[in-house]
């Protein structure tokens, strides 16, 4: 599953209707209790019955995150997922990602703090290809940042 920053289709559905439709289209069982729990964790539960055309970009992003967490694809690709959300929601989102059955979550970031605090494996581009490190190889985000910028 790939979450892009494009506008959500079906703006005249409610958030809950959109989630249910998306989940059904992916042949996944719709369990409204799970949707409500995830919505509550990322502070969107009160807006799930509102029409998507009234959502901010941040709310639309949260809506797509709920879909991903319910569908639980084998691979989830996210582009800068933590820049769109507030710090409290970021921590809750990381907890949700850790408790999911999604096999691999790959996210991009330009911030060493985010990579250090939320990642487990670091992949970064260099002139001669892709390099890989375990986040646990570094004592701090500053050490990680220094390592990358010296490469």
Q: What percent of the chain has pLDDT over 90?
A: 54
Q: Is residue 143 part of a domain?
A: no
Q: Is residue 70 part of a domain?
A: yes
Q: Is residue 83 part of a domain?
A: yes
Q: pLDDT averaged over the chain?
A: 89
For residue range 25-83, list pLDDT tens digits in order.
Answer: 999 888 999 999 999 999 999 999 999 999 988 899 899 999 999 999 999 998 888 88
Domain hosting 70: range is: 2-108
Question: In angstroms, rounded to a whole number, what is the distance separating the alpha carbons of residues 128 and 118?
Answer: 26
Q: Is residue 102 part of a domain?
A: yes
Which pLDDT does position 9 carry in this prediction?
74
Domain count, the chain: 1
CATH for 90 = 3.40.50.300
Residue 50 contacts by C-beta under 8 Å, 6 or more apart in sequence? 14, 15
Q: Is residue 17 part of a domain?
A: yes
Which pLDDT does position 35 carry in this prediction?
95
Length of the chain (residues): 151
For residue range 99-137, list pLDDT tens digits in order.
Answer: 998 999 999 988 899 899 889 999 988 888 888 999 999
Q: Is residue 33 part of a domain?
A: yes
Q: Is residue 116 part of a domain?
A: no
Q: Are 109 and 138 in contact (CB under 8 A)?
A: no
Phi/psi zone of residue 130: left (φ > 0), alpha (ψ -120 to 50 degrees), beta?
A: beta
pLDDT bin (cut points 50, 70, 90) of residue 7 is low
Residue 113 contacts by C-beta under 8 Å, 6 or more apart in sequence? 141
pLDDT bin (cut points 50, 70, 90) of residue 151 is low
Long-range pairs for 94-97: beta carbons < 8 A, 24 or more residues apart: 94/118, 95/41, 96/38, 96/41, 96/42, 96/69, 97/69
Show the tokens assigned to 43: 């502070």
Instruction: Tell me the pairing of strands 121-126 and 129-134.
Output: antiparallel
Which pLDDT does position 10 carry in this prediction?
77
Q: Is residue 94 part of a domain?
A: yes
Query: Residue 5: is its pLDDT beyond 60?
Result: no
């Amino acid at each position: 599953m790939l979450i892009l920053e494009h506008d959500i289709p079906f703006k005249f559905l409610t958030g809950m209707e959109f989630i249910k439709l998306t989940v059904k289209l992916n042949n996944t069982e719709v369990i409204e209790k799970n949707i409500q729990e995830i919505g509550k964790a990322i502070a969107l539960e009160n807006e799930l019955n509102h029409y998507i055309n009234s959502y901010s970009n941040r709310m639309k992003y949260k809506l797509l995150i709920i879909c991903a967490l319910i569908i639980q694809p084998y691979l989830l690709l996210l582009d800068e997922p933590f820049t769109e959300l507030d710090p409290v929601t970021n921590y809750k989102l990381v907890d949700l990602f850790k408790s999911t059955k999604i096999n691999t979550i790959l996210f991009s970031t330009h911030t060493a703090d985010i990579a250090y605090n939320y990642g487990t494996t670091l992949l970064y581009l260099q002139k001669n290809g892709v390099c890989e490190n375990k986040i646990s190889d570094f004592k701090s985000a500053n050490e990680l940042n220094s390592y990358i910028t010296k490469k």
